[in-house]
Amino acid sequence: MKIYDWRLAPNPRRVRMYLAEKGIEVPYEEVGVPQELRLKPDYLAKHPEHAMVPMLELDDGTCIGEAMAICRYFEELHPDPPLMGTDARDKAIVDMWERRACEGMLSMSEALRNASPGFVDRSLPGYPDRPLKQIPGLIERGRARLGRFFSTFDGQLAKHRYVTGERFTVADITALCLVDFLGFAKVEVPEECRHLHRWHGEVVDRPSAQASR
């Protein structure tokens, strides 16, 4: 078993941080080209239809992409401590907030990829076989969507210690990996979002956040 990883990118960090919370060790293979914003050609050639990381390769050769699908695999095998909810209501709430954090991640990616010279013809990740031109209008739209992320999560964190309540979950992991990456999109959490700042200051100090940087 191994995980194809790209140390630089925000989505692989979600899995590294999740596994650090669980205390699970899995070998990683770095597939990012050093000093460049792209994956190695032989990795892309192996996964032409889903050319993204993270990717978990099981011993039988099965490849599982999508950060949360990988976490779900380990959550089933190692349920403690629970990071994806505990009963039906809680699991649904964690799933909902994790997806909302993903919406924030997509918004950041819109603002970043359509502005950076490093992503010409790659306005979305995962399509090495077809050019997807940068679209300048998405820079502004990505920032507007991030405004929604900030207000929604600040409101939620005004009521709760963590994103979904009093327990740390994968929704916190995705939100932290997004917030820590905002600088690359030249965006900051607004000063008035003081609950989001309070939460970030706490979560970024967790050993899993440090280990996955």
The residues that touch a copy of itself, with contacts defined as CB under 8 A, are 49-50, 56, 58, 62, 64-66, 68-70, 72-74, 76-77, 87-89, 91-93, 95-96, 99-100, 123-124, 127, 130, 132-133, 135, 137-138, 141, 144-145, 147-148, 151-152, 155
Nearer to a copy of itself, 34 or 137 (CB): 137
Least distance between a copy of itself and beta carbon 76 (Å): 4
Nearer to a copy of itself, 26 or 73 (CB): 73
Cα distances from 97 to residues 15, 81, 163, in angstroms, run 17, 19, 7
Least distance between a copy of itself and beta carbon 61 (Å): 12
- 51, 26 in Cβ contact below 8 A? no
Tokens of 73: 């695999």
Nearer to a copy of itself, 151 or 202 (CB): 151
C-alpha torsion sign, points 110, 112, 116, 122: negative
Axis-axis angle for helices 10-22, 67-77 (nearest 10): 10
Nearer to a copy of itself, 31 or 68 (CB): 68
